[in-house]
């Protein structure tokens, strides 16, 4: 299928992008890896595409104080190859190779993935597991939203209609940080049936501040808080038994199968969290 007709404008500045979003049925175009598919399938038919690919100041990865800041237009492939990400944001480094295929990672952006908020996507769960935050710019200026407040529902976020997501920030990993990541997909690169992104802090031989963020099991990335508490007490079996998830059946698997797989992933990720930092 072909998309419905639309107008196209290339924004030359962030202010211009925000202003163009004020036009009727305007939509931002970043890497286009999700948006163009929805246009082609006529699941969405905006009047105007506002291309932000020229806003090069939204592209980049840097350490700013105690946070790693990743510009919204940073491509997945850039993050995958980044030494800064490998060293200071190891959870994101582990997740990147699971996102689609190389052609998708060459074009798709981190900002696009967070803004699109697919419940089976890896990066929203990583952001939640790391207690990260999102920076946005709109007509009234900049705003910072914590990941826990950002993902509101199925493909629904706290982004206001005229806001552009400009960057995400996650804490710089220190020597006590432990991270774990695993997902089950039918083929490598497919959206996950179930996935788990996790972080914790080492406390002697145990863990504290355990954060388990599942994806593919609800309308948003979901924390399994009872399992977090059980895992912090060092009991993996108890953590699996305490898994407080309530997935629905979907095209990939039944709710029962997803819940079982969530337990399998928890055992894998718990081992990673309890290992020395890579
Ligand atoms: C075959 C295939 C397999 C894939 N597999 C995976 C996978 O396994 N895991 C995964 O996570 N993703 C997967 N993706 C999606 C991919 O990661 C996309 O790149 C990502 O979801 C969207 O990023 P984008 O830059 O392409 O955004 P676009 O497609 O350009 O935009 C997506 C949506 O976000 C909005 N948007 C984009 N940027 C911003 C911004 N800065 N501020 C506000 N709104 C914005 C757009 O208006 C649009 O509504 C797959 C895609 C394909 C085609």
Closest approach atom of ligand 1 to CA 191: 8
Q: Which of 100, 159, 160, 193 to mutate to test the pocket of ligand 1 (most atoms within 8 A of CB)?
A: 100
Nearest to 113 by CA among 62, 82, 77, 149: 77
Across residues 181-202, what is the average pLDDT?
95
Phi, psi for 194 (deg, rounded to 5): -145, 145
Across residues 116-126, what is the average pLDDT?
97
Computed over every residue of the chain, the mean pLDDT equals 96
CA separation for the pair 179, 213 (Å, rounded): 11
What are the tens digits of pLDDT across the range 74-102? 999 999 999 999 999 999 999 999 999 99
What are the tens digits of pLDDT across the range 209-255? 999 999 999 999 999 999 999 999 889 999 999 998 999 999 999 99
Q: Taking the CB of residue 249, how many other CB atoms lie within 10 A of it?
A: 11
Write down the pLDDT at residue 205.
Answer: 82
Write down the pLDDT at residue 278.
Answer: 44
What are the tens digits of pLDDT across the range 14-47? 999 999 999 999 999 999 999 999 999 999 999 9
Ligand 1 pocket, residue 115 CB under 6 Å: yes
Token pair 């908020």 is found at: 117
Nearest to 258 by CA among 208, 206, 214: 214
Q: What pTM was computed for the model?
A: 0.97
């Amino acid at each position: 299928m072909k998309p419905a007709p639309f107008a196209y404008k290339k924004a030359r500045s962030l202010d211009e992008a925000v202003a163009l979003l004020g036009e009727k049925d305007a939509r931002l175009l970043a890497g286009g890896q999700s948006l163009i598919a929805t246009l082609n399938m006529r699941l969405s038919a905006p009047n105007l595409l506002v291309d932000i690919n020229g806003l090069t100041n939204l592209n980049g990865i840097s350490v700013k104080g105690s946070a790693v800041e990743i510009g919204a237009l940073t491509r997945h492939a850039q993050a995958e190859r980044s030494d800064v990400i490998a060293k200071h944001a190891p959870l994101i480094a582990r997740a990147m190779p699971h996102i689609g295929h190389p052609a998708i990672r060459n074009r798709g952006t981190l900002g696009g993935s967070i803004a699109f908020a697919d419940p089976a996507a890896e990066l929203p769960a990583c952001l939640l597991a790391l207690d990260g935050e999102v920076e946005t710019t709109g007509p009234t200026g900049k705003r910072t939203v914590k990941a826990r407040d950002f993902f509101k529902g199925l493909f629904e976020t706290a982004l206001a209609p005229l806001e552009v997501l400009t960057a995400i920030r996650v804490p710089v990993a220190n020597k006590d940080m432990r991270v774990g990541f695993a997902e089950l997909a039918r083929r490598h690169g497919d959206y996950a049936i179930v996935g788990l992104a996790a972080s914790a802090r080492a406390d002697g031989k145990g863990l504290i501040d355990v954060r388990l963020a599942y994806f593919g099991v609800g309308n948003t990335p979901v924390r399994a808080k009872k399992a977090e508490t059980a895992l912090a007490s060092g009991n993996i079996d108890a953590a699996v038994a305490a898994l407080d998830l309530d997935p629905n059946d979907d095209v990939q698997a039944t709710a029962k199968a997803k819940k079982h797989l969530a337990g399998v992933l928890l055992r894998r990720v718990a081992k990673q969290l309890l290992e020395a930092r890579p």
